[in-house]
Amino acid sequence: METGSLRLGLMAVFAVSGSVVFIAHEVHKRLLSDFMKKIEFELAGNGKCQVKKRVRFADDVREPSSNNKEYRKRNLSALAIAKHAKGSGADRRQLLKMPLNRQVLYKGILQCKAH
């Protein structure tokens, strides 16, 4: 009889300890999930305080919307860049349509390819 009660006691200990381990695991999983949600919220921040970044060009780079042809005639540097550009006439016309800052960038790229 003693072995039967010993077996019964041992089975009870295993059952109780197994259920305690299972409950501890579930609680830990839930707490970890809540903690991770809070951390993600803190790291991401709320969208209200983020300012949208805007690109600002210098006034001499921006083309006026009223008369673009007159603006291009006044800027001889655009023509000088077009003379240095290699390619067909269509490429030169496209280069003249570009803003001044892009023309300078394009000229630098062409010079790097030439060397």
Beta strand segments in the chain, E: none
Are the CB atoms for 102 and 57 separated by under 8 Å?
no
Given this model, what pLDDT does residue 56 score?
A: 78
Are the CB atoms for 101 and 57 separated by under 8 Å?
yes
Tokens representing 75 are 């800027």
* Tens-place pLDDT, residues 28-74: 888 888 888 888 777 776 655 566 778 777 777 665 566 666 666 66
Mean predicted confidence (pLDDT) in 2-12:
87
Residues 73 and 110 occupy one common structural domain: yes
**Assigned domain for 105 exists:** yes
Q: How many CB atoms lie within 10 A of CB 65?
A: 7
DSSP assignments along 76-91, one per residue: HHHHHHHHHS-S-HHH
Q: What is the pTM of this model?
A: 0.33
How is residue 59 annotated by DSSP?
A: T
Angle, alpha carbons 18-22-28 (nearest 5°)? 145
Given this model, what pLDDT does residue 67 score?
A: 64
Q: How many domains does the chain have?
A: 2
State which residues form the domain around 78. 68-114
Residues 78 and 40 occupy one common structural domain: no
Comparing 72 with 10, the larger pLDDT belongs to 10
**Assigned domain for 62 exists:** no
Residues 7 and 40 occupy one common structural domain: yes
